[in-house]
């Protein structure tokens, strides 16, 4: 399978503090990698390094040729809150994912607009497409940002806690959508919910300053303890499952 992105002995962080140390990870075609780890462990930082938004302090990031210098990486950032005053419509947000496809005289080709409408329909927010993004619920906004990430026809889709704000109904649809998308793109998804991770991803990266890669969707309690990934057993819904404990 073709290599899309390779992190080789990467050290990364902010100012003087290192968040990731000696991290190596390869994203291949058709991968679906779940990223887990405690709060502050460096999951978002890892995703930023993969996306190219954060340059490593040392080590290397190699991109496969098809990624066109990183243009075909879709990124849904972790959203904790968003600016409700932001004066653009939902459709504008989605189209902003295709800025590199704008025509030289401005505006987007009809096919790009069609694609935006198709994605809005697929994620169930077409009816609100002309509303200001700030008028949407958190879950609807999350879907709009997912549409934006998909506008680049990504070969690698990075999702940082995509189910924040999203209701149970759309969560099911989301995983169905992701498994369809996974046929044509690799997915790297950060999640706190190990139950979700185990049932949808193919492999797991456990991040807590360093990265431990598991070549399968299951990870044992003992392994998590060794990697300093504290876990908790919780039961919400009919099946009890494990989620990561929140660090103080
Ligand atoms: N822009 C930034 N400037 C300085 N420090 C930062 C910045 N972003 C993150 N950090 C620090 O880097 C560390 C790792 O943060 P990161 O956001 O990667 O963790 P995370 O695993 O995604 O956590 P969470 O589960 O809360 O999303 C934290 O200690 C955080 O305070
Ligand atoms: Mg994070």
Domain 3-72+154-244 has CATH 1.10.3720.10: no
Q: How confident is the model at residue 70 (pLDDT cuts 50, 70, 90)?
A: confident
- Pick the ligand that lies closest to the CA of residue 207: 1
71 pLDDT tier (thresholds 50, 70, 90):
confident
Structure token pair of residue 105: 């005289």
Ligand 1 pocket, mutate which of 45, 50, 193, 243 (most atoms under 8 A from CB): 45
**Segments of the chain assigned to CATH 3.40.50.300:** 3-72+154-244
pLDDT band at 158 (very low <50, low <70, confident <90, very high): very high
Residue 43 Cβ < 6 Å to ligand 1: yes
Residues linked to residue 211 through DSSP beta bridges, in sequence order:
207
Secondary structure in 3-state letters for 200-214 = HCCEEEEEECEEEEE
Which pair of tokens denotes residue 107?
């505006």
- Using 50, 70 and 90 to split pLDDT, how confident is the model at 108? confident
Q: What is the mean pLDDT of residues 125-143?
A: 92
Judge if the beta carbon of residue 44 lies within 6 A of ligand 1. yes
166-178 per-residue burial string, b: 16 or more CB within 10 A, e: under 16: beeebeeebbebb
CA of 13 to the centre of ligand 1 (A): 9
- What pTM value is reported for the model? 0.87
Q: Tell me the chain's radius of gyration from C-alpha atoms.
A: 18
**Is a pLDDT exceeding 80 seen at residue 219?**
no
Q: Which of 53-57, 111-115, 159-163, 192-196 has the lowest mean pLDDT?
A: 192-196
Q: In angstroms, rounded to a whole number, what is the distance separating the alpha carbons of residues 226 and 248? A: 19
**DSSP for 99-125?**
GGG--TTSS--HHHHHHHHHHHHHTT-
């Amino acid at each position: 399978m073709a290599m899309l992105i390779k992190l080789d002995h990467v050290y990364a962080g902010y100012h003087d503090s290192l968040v990731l140390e000696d991290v190596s990870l390869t994203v291949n075609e058709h991968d679906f990698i779940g990223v887990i780890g405690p709060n502050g462990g460096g999951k978002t930082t890892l995703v930023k390094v993969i996306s190219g938004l954060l340059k490593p302090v040392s080590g290397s990031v190699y991109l496969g040729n098809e990624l066109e210098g990183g243009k075909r990486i879709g990124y849904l950032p972790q959203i904790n809150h968003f600016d409700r005053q932001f004066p653009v419509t939902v459709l504008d947000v989605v189209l902003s994912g295709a800025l590199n496809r704008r025509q030289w005289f401005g505006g987007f080709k009809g096919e790009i607009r069609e694609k935006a409408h198709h994605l809005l329909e697929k994620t169930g927010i077409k009816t609100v497409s002309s509303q200001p993004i700030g008028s949407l619920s958190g879950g609807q906004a999350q879907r709009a940002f997912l549409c934006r990430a998909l506008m680049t026809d990504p070969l690698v889709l990075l999702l940082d806690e995509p189910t924040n704000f999203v209701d149970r109904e759309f969560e099911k649809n989301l995983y169905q959508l992701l498994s369809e998308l996974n046929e044509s793109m690799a997915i790297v998804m950060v999640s706190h919910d190990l139950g979700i991770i185990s049932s949808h991803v193919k492999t797991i990266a456990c991040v807590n300053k360093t990265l431990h890669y598991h070549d399968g969707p299951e990870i044992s309690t003992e392994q998590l303890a060794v990697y300093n990934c504290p876990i908790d057993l919780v039961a919400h819904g009919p099946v009890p499952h494990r989620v990561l404990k929140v660090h103080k």
